[in-house]
Amino acid sequence: MQYNCQSETGRIDSILLKHPRDAFRNQEYIDAHWEGVHFAGRPDFARACEEFAEFMALIKSRGGQVHLLPEDSSTGLDSIYVRDPALVTRRGAILCSMGKGERRGEPAAMGRYFAKIGIPILGEISGLGRLEGGDVVWLDERTLAVGLGYRSNAEALRQLRQLTEGLVDEIIEVHLPHWNGEGECLHLMSMLSPVDADLAVVYSRMMPVTFRNCLLSRGLKLIEVPDEEYDTMACNVLALAPRLCLVLKGSPKTRALLEAEGVEVLDYEGADLSLKGCGGPTCLTRPLLRK
């Protein structure tokens, strides 16, 4: 098993997803649990499965080998969003420690699957450390940006610095805003999605000035998401390769801005797969190997 994902924009060779049948299980399970995990709406199981089939087919159409994370009794509805429980480096995986209490079983479940497919565990965030993958962005293969907010904390960042010693030259701390409070899922990737080494989609109204200036100083051109498209997850963009992106349908202005920069845009229906659980294409995926 090849693995190395110290990039957000390299061509995806292999990727981890989780089918709704293994996360949502069935409609009865959804009905019993969606409010308790603070989903924005009640997903329709059948429609979520249909949307997932389209989503997975788009990834496969561009050459990505798909691995499916199996059902695990220690995980719930949120486990459909496989970005968060782990990071993948060229030396192996780092298991996170979820800031959302209902998701605490997910890193160990993902670690068990990694052991089966031959991805070693480099380390894990432990103790009082809290880290979710949506708060970790590779700006290049030696530079990480890490969001500190309600889902990830300074103790986890301290541990991450130790675990990535020799792999990373710089970790940039990004202090996230309160926004709508700790009950809402707000990650660093809620305001930033790289789509090439020199291009990123951003929602600057949420972004600290120092971090925005840091991105500009690194030579990134920033595509600004309009206010009216933030809630349709226009800022949640998955790069399948440089300037090849997968997005949730419903943000035509942002799509036009991407295409004006020479980006090829693929899109999928995700009302039940993405919007109701507040997780777009980056959240639904854990790339394992980018080149």
Could you tell me the domains of the chain? 12-290 (3.75.10.10)
Percent above pLDDT 70 for the chain: 100
The mean per-residue pLDDT over the stretch 181-202 comes to 91
Residue 178's pLDDT band, with cuts at 50, 70 and 90, is: confident
Residue 151's pLDDT band, with cuts at 50, 70 and 90, is: very high
Residue 184's pLDDT band, with cuts at 50, 70 and 90, is: confident
pLDDT of residue 87: 98
Residue 78's pLDDT band, with cuts at 50, 70 and 90, is: very high
Closest by CA position to 124, among listed 108, 109, 136: 108
The mean per-residue pLDDT over the stretch 261-282 comes to 97
Angle at 168 between CA 174 and CA 185, to 5 degrees: 35
Q: Per-residue pLDDT for 169 more than 90?
A: yes
Backbone angles phi, psi at 64, to 5 degrees: -80, 130
The mean per-residue pLDDT over the stretch 172-197 comes to 89
* 23 to 106, 108, 205, 230, 253: CA distances (angstroms): 11, 15, 33, 26, 32
pLDDT of residue 63: 95
The mean per-residue pLDDT over the stretch 279-287 comes to 98
In angstroms, rounded to a whole number, what is the distance separating the alpha carbons of residues 34 and 285? Answer: 21
